[in-house]
Amino acid sequence: MSTVTLRVFRFKQGDAAPHYDTFTVTAGPRTTVLEALQAVRRDQDPSLILRHSCHHASCGTCGMRVNGHEVLACVTPLADLGPVVTVEPLQNAPLVADLVVDMHPFYATFTQAGMPLVRTSDNLAGSHPAPGIETLTRFENCLECGLCLSACPVVATDPLYLGPAAMAAAWRVVQEPRGADPAQALAWVDQEHGCWRCHLAFECSTVCPNDVQPGQAIAALRQRLVQGEPAPPRPRPAAAEPAPSPARAARRGLRAWFDPRGRDVGYWAFVLHRVTGLALVFYLVLHLWVLRLLARGPQAWDDFIALARSPLFLALDGVLLFGILFHGLNGLRVALVGLGRGAARHKALFWALMAVLVVALLVGVAALVAVVHGA
Amino acid sequence: MNRDAGKFWWLVQAFSGVALVLLLGMHFIAQHYVAQGGLRTYADVVAYLDSPWVLALETLFLVVVAVHAALGLRAVALDLGLARGQQRLVDGAVAGFALAVVFYGLWLFTRIGGG
Ligand code: SF4
Ligand code: FES
């Protein structure tokens, strides 16, 4: 048995601001975070609010953030997490109290996707896909836990975004309609704040406890739409209308873009793509502004060129080169994966492109150094 | 914004991005190899833009970069979940930005070419 300190997020309706309470618990090798929290509620603070049901990764109700990562508390061993463990509610959903968020808006998206929340069967071991089904991956596997919503950087800022789980459900309907209308599901995701809003950070797929792979499902939906699947007129669902302000307030907002701690590589790539993109737009404006010197005649331009060949300018050129290379190469990945090409191997593709970046950057920096020495 | 706008603009963004990777490569190659030793002096720039091929390449580059940058700004704005009225405002603003970039670039070309 070891002793673990739990730092638990606390908030009750009417509180001015949330705070953290500290509890000391004892943990055996198999004690889970959920069991530890239940022990706190039983023995130390009965006012602690948390939600759970099945205790075996099936109901999806115990989703929370533990040390900054979205997990199902009922299958997360406490012993692996260090002496101090921070427990917080999911992000990007309205907070009810302590570790509980309001899941109603999230559940409603499943109905809109055309997939009912209640499923009737699962694949038996050794069974084969029915004719017309591409893989045995079953999006009924979705637990509706909401971990993907909490991790997604687009959900963090866009209250109109349909979200990864709902679009995975829509793709499930397209793959195996079972009486539902796939064209309606496609029409529903084919909107600015639907599958085209996704930036393929794949954080949803990283945190999903049941391998639903929503990111890959979104890429597949896009591929199907680009291939020209006919889509009937879409009645605009209520959730796609501008959301009321509490829904916006419940989201992390832009903080999510600038705080990729603990996130996987796709999330970092998303943040860096945004930062380099904005920086390159700034550079474009600066570049055009400098080029106005050309309109002033030879002296102004030649003076500028002399300045541009100084070591400081050339160092900034190196930074610019990195920005261009990263944005260009990661952009190729986004374009390819976004069209459904290589979605299953998006990480390998990313690292292969980053290897190209390193080689090109070294060549570019060597050329800049040669300019300094040859100037 | 009609339903297809999301797909349409995403595809334009993706293909303009791929085109930029190629055009930027050609832009660098043209500047550093066609113009031997790079564009070091004003005279080099004038001589460089004298070629109709170079002018066509640079104009295409200018248009594609303006479109891609404008759509990128629009994507960032849409990520923030704007209301429909604000979204139209953003559409207008980024279209204005793209047009300003293209016309300013074309004006520069004529100033340099015409002395
Ligand atoms: S897709 Fe995965 S992470 Fe998202 S709600 Fe379903 S099971 Fe949870
Ligand atoms: S309690 Fe049901 S998934 Fe954790």
Q: Residue A198: name the closest of A184, A214, A182 by CA.
A: A214
Fold of B3-112: 3 helical TM bundles of succinate and fumarate reductases (1.20.1300)
Q: What is the pLDDT, as a whole number, of residue A142?
A: 86
Whole-number Å distance between alpha carbons of B67 and A317: 23
Segment A284-307 mean pLDDT: 81
A258 φ/ψ sector (left φ>0, alpha ψ -120 to 50, else beta): alpha
Q: Which of A134-143, A300-309, A349-358 has the lowest mean pLDDT?
A: A134-143
Q: CA of A18: how far to CAs of A9, A14, A15, in Å? A: 7, 10, 7
Q: Does B12 touch chain A (CB under 8 A)?
A: no
Number of residues written out for chain A: 375
pLDDT at A281: 94
Identify the pLDDT of residue B86. 81
Q: Does ligand 1 come within 6 angstroms of the Cβ of A223? A: no
Name the band, by pLDDT with cuts 50, 70 and 90, for residue A323: very high
Provide mean pLDDT across the span A124-135.
65
pTM over 0.80, yes/no: no
| Least confident piece of the model among A59-63, A197-201, A231-235 | A231-235
pLDDT(A240) > 50: no
pLDDT (0 to 100) of residue A122: 55
Looking up tokens 């038996």, which residue turns up? A124
A245 pLDDT above the threshold of 50: no
User: How do residues A41-94 score in pLDDT, each as one tens digit?
Assistant: 999 999 999 999 999 998 899 999 999 999 999 999 998 899 999 999 999 999
Average pLDDT over residues A12-27: 93
Q: B40 or A319: which carries more pLDDT confidence?
A: A319
Cα A213 to averaged position of ligand 1 atoms, centre (Å): 8
Cβ-Cβ contacts under 8 Å, B42 against chain A? 294, 297-298, 301-302
If you average pLDDT over residues A348-369, what whole number do you get? 90
**More confident position, A163 or A344:** A163
Higher pLDDT, A122 or A326: A326
Is the ipTM value over 0.90, yes or no? no
**B17·A295 Cβ contact <8 A:** no
Share of chain A above pLDDT 70, in %: 85
The partner residues of A64 in beta bridges, in order of sequence, read A71
What mean pLDDT is predicted for residues B36-46?
73
CB distance A110 to A237 below 8 Å: no
Show the domains of chain A with their CATH numbers. Answer: 2-100 (3.10.20.30), 103-117+139-238 (1.10.1060.10), 265-374 (1.20.1300.10)
For A204, the 3-state DSSP assignment is helix
CB atoms within 10 A of CB A215: 27
A253: pLDDT strictly greater than 90: no
**DSSP E strand boundaries for A29-172:** 63-66, 69-72, 84-88, 95-97, 100-101
Q: What is the mean pLDDT of residues B3-16?
A: 81
Calculate the average pLDDT of chain A.
83
Compute how many other C-beta atoms are within 10 angstroms of the C-beta atom of residue A84.
11
Percent of chain B past pLDDT 70, that is, above it, reads 87
The ranges assigned to domains in chain B are 3-112
Specify whether the CB–CB gap between B44 and B35 falls below 8 A: yes
The more confident residue out of B9 and A122 is B9
A50 HSE (CA, 13 A, CB side) = 29
- Secondary structure of residue A94 in the 3-state scheme: coil
Tell me what the mean pLDDT of segment B100-108 comes to.
Answer: 91
**Residues of chain A neighbouring B65 (CB-CB closer than 8 A):** 284
Of A8-17, A28-37, A343-352, B13-22, minimum mean pLDDT range: A343-352
Residue A97 burial (C-beta neighbours within 10 Å; 0-12, 13-18, 19+): middle
- Residue of B16, B79, B90, B112 to mutate, interface with A, max A Cβ within 10 Å: B79
- The predicted-structure confidence for A263-283, as pLDDT tens digits, reads as follows 788 888 888 998 999 999 999
Give the closest-approach CA distance of B104 to chain A in angstroms.
Answer: 8
